[in-house]
Amino acid sequence: MAQRARVNTAPAYDEDDFDDAEPVRIPSSALHYQRLADVRAEVGRAPADVQGLGSQRNYRASNRSTIPPRRSATQTGISVVHGSRQREAETGTDEIAIRNTDQLIGTIFRPRFHWTVILGMATFTMLVGWVLLTMVANWWQVTQDDWHYGRPRTFQVDMVVGHNDSATNPSHFIAINLQRHIEIIELPGGDSSRAKIYTGPTLVGPGQELAVVTLTFKDVNGDRKLDMVVNVQDSHFVFINDSGQFRPVRPGENVQI
């Protein structure tokens, strides 16, 4: 005889039917406990404290990243680079690249001269310096001559040469460079009424009108008389003391300056 199926006449309840109409605010503590409910709502569930810890572990486990690490990070001896460090490394690489680019540009556009060009520039600089130094030296020499000899260049000296003169009344000599013509004026014994003029050489060349002329006296032929030597720069012109006056040297006459 077939058995009749047993029908459960107990009313079916849903778990949501036992919940409150308005949810209660969950506390902000680290461990969340479920609120107390009806016995039927707790059937088949773990206790509140166990359920909280388990759910927390499950939540932490579920929040773990499921993205696999990069292959470079799993290699031996290679550390994982964090985001900030990676950005710093990229920035440093960019700066190095920029510096290398600047150095490359400077190297490319840096002018390079042949050694002959450098030698020519050095020679030209030395030549210009020598010219300037020469000009300055000449200017200084002319300035000193202006201070000492004036313009026209004039030289004066007193000397006893035996022409009606003595130690107390020596003869006075004046040498002048007058427009490149050398002239010597003698005042025997200081007497201008018996003045004598000797014509010297004529100078040739640029700037010779400013050449300094001087006089020296010494015996050049051994006759125990002082002879007159006219000095113009490196040139020397001898006048022999003869018969109370001076005369130029005759051809073949032996003199020692």
Residue whose tokens read 């490359």 = 104
Residue whose tokens read 């201008």 = 192
pLDDT digits (tens, 9 = 90+) for 76-94: 555 544 555 555 555 556 6
pLDDT on residue 1: 45
pLDDT digits (tens, 9 = 90+) for 159-207: 999 999 999 999 999 999 999 999 999 999 999 999 999 999 999 999 9
| Average of per-residue pLDDT values in the chain | 77
C-alpha 87/C-alpha 133 separation (Å) is 64
With 0-12 / 13-18 / 19 or more C-beta atoms within 10 angstroms meaning exposed / middle / buried, residue 211 is middle
Inform me whether the pLDDT recorded for 245 exceeds 80. yes
Most confident region among 1-5, 71-75, 227-231 by mean pLDDT: 227-231
Q: How far is CA 244 from CA 106, 198, 239, in A?
A: 86, 13, 12
Q: Are 174 and 154 in contact (CB under 8 A)?
A: yes
Domains in the chain: boundaries? 105-149, 151-248
Region 109-122 average pLDDT: 82
Task: Provide the 3-class DSSP secondary structure of residue 256.
Answer: coil
Please tell me which residue, 58 or 152, carries the higher pLDDT value: 152
